[in-house]
Chains A and B, each alone.
Chain A
Amino acid sequence: MTTARPASRYAALTGRHLALIALSLLILAPFAWMITTSLKSLDQVNKAPYLIPAQFEFGNYDNALTAAPFARYYLNSAVMTVGIVVGHLVLNTLAAYALSRLQFRGRNAIFLGLVATMLVPAFLTVLPAFDLVIRLGWYNSYAALIVPRLADVFGIVVLRGFMLSLPRELDEAGRIDGANRMQVLVRIILPLCKPALASVAVFSFLFSWNDFLWPLLVTNDDQYRTLQIGLSVFTNKYGPWPNYLMAGTVVAAIPAVVIFLYLQRGLVRGLASTGVKA
């Protein structure tokens, strides 16, 4: 309201920044260690300086990159992740719409049933699911990596929750104008769901990118293996050589960070464009 900021506001702002910087440093410290260690030679590893190495051994990265076909692993993780994220955005939205804004018998029962499955640990369902995937002829393929995870209850819960907070009048208005239910979804509800959709996209991306057990079971060779599996082998192998291990870890982590930076802007835009007017 006023153009001149009172001193107390500066103090508050500075305080806020200090707190944020401290928190950020604390959170990023392990990464700093990771990167520093990855640039050290072996005999320097467990010794000071901890934050900036005395000499930079970029050769560690050479070693890490050639030890496994990282490029292929990236590609596989990327294909799988894109497939799953798109699947989630489409299928979860449809289901959430039905469960929040359409009327039909058994609606609550279905929703509760789905929520119940959320707590089920992955390895409880893994063997029969794997068996099914084999019978469908999808062993060692992108289909096996993507299709069983095209929808998930978590995303449905998030989207349904968000949709429930949108006023019923919106649907009504649409219906009066002659739109059918699908059109109501696409033209009216969806544009308002951007924050929720962005959240689902981020969650799905993370889940898929970091997934371990399932890709391990359904892939058999480097042609379809994902990044996490390659990294796991790395970890077992390079125990006594934390510098190489960290180089590999950094190599595995960078794209996810970059992608997040990209998605993060979308997240912000989504948040800013919240369409619900009070």
Chain B
Amino acid sequence: MATMTGAGAQVVNLRPGAVPSSHRRPRRHGGGDGWAAALCLAPALLIIGAFVIYPLIATGAWSLTSWDGISPTKTFVGLKNYGKLLHDADFRNSMIVTLVYALGVCVLSVVTGLGAASLLNGSFRGRGLYRTAFFMPVVTSSIAAAAVWQYLFSSSGPVNAALSSLHLGAPNWLGNPHLALVSLTLLTVWKQLGLNTVLYLTALQTIPEHVYEAAAIDGAGRWQKTRRITLPLLRPMTFFVVVEALVTTFQSFDLVYQLTQGGPLGGTEVIGFLVYRTAFVTGQFGYGATIAYAGFAIVFAFTWMQWRFGGREQT
């Protein structure tokens, strides 16, 4: 309904001839809600500003140095590190590994999350039990999960024992670079499954029943309902799950650190691990910062494109 309120925010302004429709939200004093917004944002911005943004800038400054992380002096080298990056085979390998890993995790996260959520959607007995079962990997520590995975997928471990008994061979899960990435991907998806399921459940349950009922009245079958109603309505959540998966894979460190340490042959050397190793292990903090920034820029570009061309929420 149209209404006028005294201070600031207005959705529809009915004063005749006052404001053209392109200025639907007139601002006064630089934003009518300025004070309230400032107060609401201040605590969070203070924390994030001090402990995320300032350090981010400081580290950016360090990417222009050849600092080893431990000497008292930092030697400025300008963009030399970035030049070095262009010829760095390890960096190229790492970006490929990271993107393949991210792709695998994103696709599997969506598929398994949505699949499990569909199975759980509805009211039936035992639902809570299943949900808990799915969520258990999520609450397990990464270190623990990766340690368990190492035993399970070792050449002489239970997984291969089971596979051999079914005459399916005994792959070298952690000794072959490609299989190692597969193992890592499975571990990551397993660990996140409960979360993705819950997210999709939340989304599925906000789709009102009557939308389906109306469609049923119009003669829509199950597949059509899924395709025309469910999937499109789930797009924001899918976008969210994908971003969540991207963030996880890009930041991924604990799992790789414990499971494969980037190997074998760099097959699981995701960018997060490369940065850690470069900066903290081999003592090249300036260069490590450079790698992180470049990798971050690339992944951010991907995410931005995703945002632009799919699943964008209204702002």
Interface residues of A (CB under 8 A from B): 13, 16-17, 19-20, 23-24, 27-28, 30-31, 33-34, 37, 46, 48, 50, 87, 90-92, 94-95, 97-99, 102-108, 110-111, 114, 116-129, 132, 147-154, 156, 158, 161, 164, 168-169, 171-172, 175-176, 180-182, 185, 195, 199, 202-203, 206, 209-210, 212-213, 227-228, 231-232, 235, 242, 245-246, 249, 252-253, 256-257, 259-261, 264-265, 267-268, 271, 274, 276, 278
Residues of A within 8 A of B271 (CB): 121
Asked if B220 is an interface residue, CB under 8 A from chain A, the answer is no
Contact yes or no, B44 A125, CB < 8 A: no
Per a CB cutoff under 8 Å, which of B135, B138, B148, B296 touches A249? Answer: B148
Tell me the chain B residues, 35-73 only, with Cβ under 8 Å from chain A: 36-41, 43-45, 47-48, 50-56, 58-59, 69
Measured in the bound complex, the distance between the Cα atoms of B48 and A153 in whole Å is 8
Interface residues of B (CB under 8 A from A): 1, 3, 5, 8-9, 11, 25, 27, 30-34, 36-41, 43-45, 47-48, 50-56, 58-59, 69, 116, 119-120, 124, 126, 128, 130-145, 147-149, 151-152, 156-158, 161, 190, 193, 195, 198-199, 201-202, 205-206, 208, 210, 236, 240, 246-247, 250-251, 253-254, 258, 271-272, 275-276, 279-280, 285, 289, 292-293, 296, 299-300, 303, 313-315
Measured in the bound complex, the distance between the Cα atoms of B94 and A41 in whole Å is 41
Measured in the bound complex, the distance between the Cα atoms of B48 and A67 in whole Å is 37
Residues of B within 8 A of A268 (CB): 128
Contact yes or no, B53 A127, CB < 8 A: no
Residues of B within 8 A of A28 (CB): 133, 136
Contact yes or no, A151 B47, CB < 8 A: yes
Most chain A CB within 10 A, of B30, B141, B208, B314, is at B141
Contact yes or no, A27 B134, CB < 8 A: yes
Measured in the bound complex, the distance between the Cα atoms of B47 and A156 in whole Å is 13
Q: Which residue of A lies closest to B58 (CB)?
A: A128
Smallest Cβ distance from A111 to chain B, in angstroms? 8
Measured in the bound complex, the distance between the Cα atoms of B140 and A20 in whole Å is 21
Contact yes or no, B251 A94, CB < 8 A: no
Contact yes or no, A256 B52, CB < 8 A: no
Contact yes or no, B47 A91, CB < 8 A: yes
Contact yes or no, B128 A264, CB < 8 A: yes
Contact yes or no, B208 A260, CB < 8 A: no
Contact yes or no, A212 B254, CB < 8 A: yes
Residues of B within 8 A of A87 (CB): 47
Pick the 4 closest A-B CB pairs, nearest first.
A104-B31, A125-B55, A128-B55, A151-B44
Residues of B within 8 A of A34 (CB): 144, 148
Residues of A within 8 A of B38 (CB): 104
Residues of A within 8 A of B206 (CB): 274, 276
Smallest Cβ distance from A29 to chain B, in angstroms? 8
Measured in the bound complex, the distance between the Cα atoms of B253 and A213 in whole Å is 10
Q: A91-B44, A103-B9 are in contact. Are A27 and B56 (CB under 8 A)?
A: no
Contact yes or no, B205 A271, CB < 8 A: yes
Contact yes or no, B124 A120, CB < 8 A: no
Contact yes or no, B133 A24, CB < 8 A: yes
Measured in the bound complex, the distance between the Cα atoms of B143 and A259 in whole Å is 19
Measured in the bound complex, the distance between the Cα atoms of B119 and A122 in whole Å is 35
Smallest Cβ distance from A238 to chain B, in angstroms? 9
Contact yes or no, A148 B158, CB < 8 A: no
Measured in the bound complex, the distance between the Cα atoms of B116 and A114 in whole Å is 32
Q: Which residue of A lies closest to B211 (CB)?
A: A278
Q: Which residue of A lies closest to B292 (CB)?
A: A124
Contact yes or no, A125 B30, CB < 8 A: no
Smallest Cβ distance from B125 to chain A, in angstroms? 9
Q: Which residue of B lies closest to A90 (CB)?
A: B43
Residues of A within 8 A of B124 (CB): 13, 16-17
Smallest Cβ distance from B274 to chain A, in angstroms? 10
Q: Which residue of A lies closest to B193 (CB)?
A: A27
Residues of B within 8 A of A99 (CB): 41
Smallest Cβ distance from A255 to chain B, in angstroms? 9
Contact yes or no, A172 B141, CB < 8 A: no
Smallest Cβ distance from A105 to chain B, in angstroms? 5
Contact yes or no, A256 B152, CB < 8 A: no
Contact yes or no, A24 B134, CB < 8 A: yes
Smallest Cβ distance from A94 to chain B, in angstroms? 4
Most chain B CB within 10 A, of A154, A172, A265, is at A172
Contact yes or no, A161 B240, CB < 8 A: yes
Contact yes or no, A121 B132, CB < 8 A: no
Contact yes or no, B314 A164, CB < 8 A: yes
Residues of A within 8 A of B205 (CB): 271, 274
Smallest Cβ distance from A248 to chain B, in angstroms? 9
Smallest Cβ distance from B30 to chain A, in angstroms? 5
Measured in the bound complex, the distance between the Cα atoms of B51 and A232 in whole Å is 25
Smallest Cβ distance from B227 to chain A, in angstroms? 20
Q: A20-B119, A235-B258 are in contact. Are A212 and B133 (CB under 8 A)?
A: no
Contact yes or no, A150 B55, CB < 8 A: no
Residues of B within 8 A of A151 (CB): 43-44, 47-48
Q: Which residue of A lies closest to B32 (CB)?
A: A103
Smallest Cβ distance from B42 to chain A, in angstroms? 8
